[in-house]
Amino acid sequence: SFMEQAEAEEKHVNELEERERLNQQQRRLASGALLQEMKNITDAADASDTVLLQGFNWESHQAGKGNWYGIVESKVEMFADMGITDIWLPPCSQSVAPQGYLPSQLFNLDASAYGKKDQLKQLLAAMRQKGIRGMADIVINHRCGDQQDEQGRWNVFTTTGIESRKSFAGVMDWQGWAITLGDKFSDGTGERGPGQYDDKFDAAPDIDHGNKKVQQSIAIWMRWLRLDVGFDAWRFDFVKGYGAEYVGLYCKKSHPSWAVGELWLDMRYDDSGLCYDQNEHRQNTINWINATDKESAAFDFTTKGILQEACRNTQYWRLKDSEGKPPGLLGWMPTQAVTFLDNHDTGSTQAHWPFPGDKVLVGYAYLLTHPGIPSIFWDHVCDWGDDCRERIKVLLKLRQKAEIKVDAKVKILCADADLYIAEIGEPAALRVALGPRSSDADGAWQMGANGNDYKVWISKSKTS
């Protein structure tokens, strides 16, 4: 109705004004009081309704010709119509490499290859009008210095990129003390070496997140991304490189709607290929999530690895673990599992670990019927043609119509080499069959989607 629309619009305007007011006060208000007020304007994400789109690939910095944000903005209506609730955008800060993953001046959003700060804010505003949250790519494992110390090491960080705001002066001015000891960029003045889980990232100085000044400046930057720029959610890059507790800390200090971390760990292989049992892999992911104090979800690399192997080699027996559950993170901790087929590293032009191209829709038939928080890759929706996009949309609409919850029950009825059948929900609301062997469903089910090697039915109780 008109009244409802007017109320929604007023709430929207009030929220923007509130953000602006808090943004102005950020450096003057005690952080406890600021966080309490930020909590009030945070629209916490309902995991059961969340569908993430990765809004870029490895080439977007070139494809956008200086304004990738504008390309995403031109498709916002289409994404909203598909049922996308969140878009993960590329790293927005000035970076030594154009893709954004070697950041230097974190507050400088005008020197990004993806576009200017105003274009980014315009995109986020257009998304918010359609009820879509913006997810920022938070790259804080490492930071590139912009000046050298006396020994020629690039470990002096001067330009903050926000000189216009006096209260932010010097917030990001770090030196060798901010770098973990033992790092090749270190000058020996840091407080601590890398933690036990810290994976090395050799291209740039490794930042010491145990340092209180580092913590404070990153928290200020992340609150600014929320209040001034307009982001709502976080994707943490390369979380293998620093302690999970710091991800938890930064979430507590910035109140995102939700957050997800990229914990890309090696899976178990033996002479015959990928091992059937990947329990250690998913347990390590759960340990990381717990160590963030459950402030962050994690990408379900376990499911990706198993699912692509099952589809590629017609080994659908892989999709049922020894206890009869789904074998990935979504089988153990679905509320914190962000499922996906490919991203800018595994797929796109880097193709480090790609999902088989001819089986992508089979993959989505699994992800979009099963528990967890599904994530969809830009290429599959925008670059692979209308048919692929329409088929993904049909699956998404079935998920919504069947009201599949993030922790929906999965009953696996068959997991043979050439056929996987599962019913999802309690009572069962969706039925999915994957693989080349044909299968049917009884009269309680209505066909909702079918394609090469996949079929999805929806319970007739959901269609009436």
pLDDT of residue 196: 61
**Bridge partner residues of 206 (DSSP):** 142
User: Taking a C-beta distance cutoff of 8 angstroms, is the pair 66, 101 a contact?
Assistant: no
Give the burial string for 151-174 (b: 16+ CB within 10 Å, else e). Answer: eebbbbbebbbbeebeebeebbeb
Longest dimension (CA), the chain: 78
- The total of other beta-carbon atoms located within 10 Å of residue 314's CB is 16
Encode pLDDT of 167-197 as tens digits: 787 888 899 999 998 888 999 999 988 876 5
User: Taking a C-beta distance cutoff of 8 angstroms, is the pair 146, 173 a contact?
Assistant: no
Encode pLDDT of 244-272 as tens digits: 999 999 999 999 999 999 999 999 999 99
User: Taking a C-beta distance cutoff of 8 angstroms, is the pair 289, 336 a contact?
Assistant: yes
Q: Which of these, 94, 91, 124, lies nearest to 111 by C-alpha position?
A: 94
Q: In whole angstroms, what is the distance from residue 413 CA to residue 423 CA?
A: 7
The Cα-based distances of 236 to 74, 336, 380, 430, 455 in angstroms read: 26, 14, 23, 32, 35
Is 459 in a helix, a strand, or coil?
strand
What one-letter code names the amino acid at 384? Answer: W
Q: Which of these, 219, 222, 198, lies nearest to 208 by C-alpha position?
A: 198
Determine which one of 237, 379, 423, 453 is catalytic. Answer: 237
Q: In whole angstroms, what is the distance from residue 163 CA to residue 232 CA?
A: 24
Structure tokens given for 159: 């330009």
Structure tokens given for 236: 């943490």
Is 373 in a helix, a strand, or coil?
strand
**Bridge partner residues of 156 (DSSP):** 147
Structure tokens given for 119: 């274009």
For the chain, the straight-line distance linking the first and the last C-alpha, in angstroms and rounded, comes to 24
The Cα-based distances of 21 to 24, 129, 228 in angstroms read: 5, 20, 10
In order, the DSSP letters of 204-243 are SPBB-TTSHHHHHHHHHHHHHIIIII---EEEES-GGGS-
Q: In whole angstroms, what is the distance from residue 64 CA to residue 298 CA?
A: 29
Give the burial string for 61-71 (b: 16+ CB within 10 Å, else e). Answer: beebeebbbbb
Residues 6 or more apart whose Cβ sits within 8 Å of residue 264: 240, 299, 301, 345
Would you call 237 a catalytic residue per the annotation? yes
Q: In whole angstroms, what is the distance from residue 374 CA to residue 369 CA?
A: 9
pLDDT of residue 159: 67
pLDDT of residue 107: 92
Element at 430 (helix H, strand E): strand 430-434
pLDDT less than 50: residues of the chain: none
pLDDT of residue 43: 78
Give the burial string for 260-277 (b: 16+ CB within 10 Å, else e). Answer: bbbbbeebeeeeeebebe
pLDDT of residue 252: 95
What one-letter code names the amino acid at 46? Answer: D
Q: In whole angstroms, what is the distance from residue 238 CA to residue 138 CA?
A: 9
Q: Which of these, 28, 225, 20, 23, lies nearest to 108 by C-alpha position?
A: 225
pLDDT of residue 15: 79
pLDDT of residue 437: 97
Determine which one of 206, 228, 262, 295 is catalytic. Answer: 262
3-state SS of 318-366 is: HHCCCCCCCCCHHHHCHHHEEECCCCCCCCCCCCCCCCCHHHHHHHHHH
Q: In whole angstroms, what is the distance from residue 407 CA to residue 303 CA?
A: 15
Reduced to 3 DSSP states, what percent helix, strand and coil does the chain have, rounded to the nearest 5? 40, 15, 45
Q: In whole angstroms, what is the distance from residue 400 CA to residue 79 CA?
A: 15
pLDDT of residue 44: 86
pLDDT of residue 162: 73
Would you call 262 a catalytic residue per the annotation? yes
